[in-house]
Structure 1
Amino acid sequence: MHAKSPGERIFDALNAVVLTLFCLLVIVPFVHLLAASFSSKDALIHNLVTFWPVDWTLDNYRLVWYNQIFWNAFRISVLVTVAGTAINMYLTLLTAYPLAKTALKGRRLVLLAIVFTMIFSVPLIPMYLIVKSVGMVNTLWAIMIPNAIGAFNLILCITFFRGLPEELSDAAKVDGMREHSILWRIFMPLSLPIVMTLTLFYAVAHWNNYMGPLFYITDPAIKPLQLYLYAVLSQFNTQDSLLNLSESIDQFSPLGIQMATVGVATVPILLIYPFIQKHFIRGALLGSVKG
């Protein structure tokens, strides 16, 4: 291993500084959010909170815990994320597997159509009319079916499948296996990195989906968490959070409750990511370099 030149050392140092700054840009707001969510009303009113809670309290999280509106929205988001991600992965894998085979007739035309959808998206009004015409408005299907397959994720999966040895498929066919069985019993165990990567992509997209529910959902009973967070952050109504508490409304800070609500809404993704980080990084790298 050769010694680094002065230019390479300077580049590495600048790289470390830039990446550290980007990490701080991501971490610092979240640290401030957590500090504010654990701080008292007086500390928030007088703007005393920076990166550590002032007058430590759990009252803000207690209000979130007793808020049935929040937990209903949370439940809807969990349901949409789990069911929507399952639909996404099933359809993406079934579509990517045949398109990864160079012998498939019409393959180039289909890939061209997929790339076209990445450049030109469907206008909002035609999409809404289509969703309405099939009776999906004010149903959870409206925020799962229209984006059942992500074009970028599909291309990433196709690229990964193309990097797997075709001899495995040929050998399985000799043994009498059908294409469906080959995909799920042979290719799937080998594709765990890309499956985990796309699962994370789809799950995060569903969990953070705001525009879809905003356009298609008006029934309060099935509004997901992102619409609830919008209502809390833009037009906060503290009374909704105090329906099951006897304390006076003057004891609580709307800002503190907002921060606690956002903090709880962020927890699921933070809990899931560490368990699939290894597969996520490997899948993203393999899917980007194999051709």
Structure 2
Amino acid sequence: MVTTDLSTQPAPTQPPAPTSGKPRVVKDSRAYRSFRFVNAFVLIVVCGLVLYPFVNIVAQAFSSEGAINSGSVNLVPRGFNLTTFQVVLGDDMFWRNYRNTVVYTVVATAIAMALTTTYAYALSRRGLKGRKFFIGAAVATMFFNGGLIPNYVLISELGLRNTIWAIVLPNAISVFNLLVMKSFFENFPSELEEAAAIDGMTTYGVFFRVVLPLSKAVVATMLLFYAVSFWNAWFGAFLYMDDPRLYPVTMYLRNLLAGVTSGTSIQGGSTDNLTQIAANVQSVTMLLTVLPIICLYPFIQRYFVSGVMLGAVKQ
């Protein structure tokens, strides 16, 4: 029989007594505080440099001809004047073209999102037959293009000139957006898709009822990219449209700018205010073009950074 001398055994360790008083706060080091200060200062300077041109454009849009020509307009309007706005906004053709832009942007963005999301989801399936071929076919279009004349001949032969499809279809898929969404779908948790398949969902059901609702960040980001691209587009209308009633608003503003620059009069503008219009028509046109996107951006800004990063981070 083996006996154990309890006196030789080490005493059980006692848990440390809880510290009393306020919780400990880890103070930042001097180097880290200096880094934060320098970082904040640099970011403020960068933001100021980015915002300055836009604020200057807004100031010039509301300034008089004399103040603009003298170079006294900086961040605050000088000689407040709305003549150019009145001429542009008082033209019925402007509102018709503005409506066209809204329709073109909504339809084109909807088609682009439908094609991009489905194509990207299919390419993200590693078991897809011919997957490398379809990826290569998409990537090849980033480096090789048929050219301006072949594209014009193709659109004309298909009978798409002077229609909305001449603007919508040629740019229906952006390969950059496609690759970002493909990368995001590849990192999507496969367990969720397997669970949905076990519950009896088809491939389309898994995509529309599981994958897309959980991909709001990247979808909102691509939605913003496409909407901005189609809203600012004018070259397609310049090539494929002859009827001014079908122009987007960017084409209207481009023609307005070209007319004033060449010295010709514009509808609603008399010879008395033509010099005023010529002085700030560039600022007014840029402001009217970018304003709707600025109003839209705050609603999807929270998805923007996370959407781009989710498509680039590997699990």
Using the size of structure 1 for normalisation, the TM-score is 0.88
- Aligned 8 A contact 2:257 2:282 in 1: yes
- In 1, Cα distance between equivalents of 2:30 and 2:147: 53
Alignment root-mean-square deviation, CA: 2.6
Q: Which has the higher helix share?
A: 1
Deviations 1:136-179 (A, max 9, x none): 11212111101111111111111111111112222222222111
- In 1, Cα distance between equivalents of 2:189 and 2:218: 16
- Aligned 8 A contact 1:98 1:104 in 2: yes
Matched, 1:171 2:209: no
SS at match of 1:57: coil
**CA-CA distance at 1:130 after TM superposition:** 1.5
Unmatched 5+ stretches in structure 2 = 1-25
Corresponding residue for 1:226? Answer: 250
- Aligned 8 A contact 1:138 1:218 in 2: yes
Match for residue 268 of structure 2 among 223, 230, 242: 242
Deviations 1:33-68 (A, max 9, x none): 111111123322333212110122333322222122
Unmatched 5+ stretches in structure 1 = none
- Aligned 8 A contact 2:232 2:289 in 1: no
Which structure exhibits the higher relative contact order, with contacts defined as CA atoms closer than 8 Å and separated by 6 or more residues?
Answer: 1
**CA-CA distance at 1:187 after TM superposition:** 0.8
- In 1, Cα distance between equivalents of 2:127 and 2:307: 25
Corresponding residue for 1:133? Answer: 157
- In 2, Cα distance between equivalents of 1:187 and 1:41: 55
Deviations 1:257-279 (A, max 9, x none): 44223212211000001110110
After the TM superposition, which residues 72-91 of structure 1 pair with which residues of structure 2 at under 5 Å, given as runs? 72-91=96-115
State the percentage of identical aligned residues: 38
Task: Give the counterpart letter for 1:26 in structure 2.
Answer: V
After the TM superposition, which residues 1-12 of structure 1 pair with which residues of structure 2 at under 5 Å, given as runs? none
Which entry has the higher C-alpha Rg, 1 or 2? Answer: 2
Match for residue 138 of structure 2 among 114, 133, 144: 114
Corresponding residue for 1:156? Answer: 180
After the TM superposition, which residues 178-257 of structure 1 pair with which residues of structure 2 at under 5 Å, given as runs? 178-236=202-260, 239-242=265-268, 248-249=272-273, 252-257=276-281
- In 1, Cα distance between equivalents of 2:148 and 2:36: 45
- In 2, Cα distance between equivalents of 1:66 and 1:235: 17
Moved more, 40-49 or 85-94: 40-49
Task: Give the counterpart letter for 2:200 in structure 1.
Answer: G
- In 2, Cα distance between equivalents of 1:170 and 1:184: 15
Match for residue 93 of structure 2 among 59, 69, 73: 69
**CA-CA distance at 1:92 after TM superposition:** 0.8
Matched, 1:102 2:126: yes
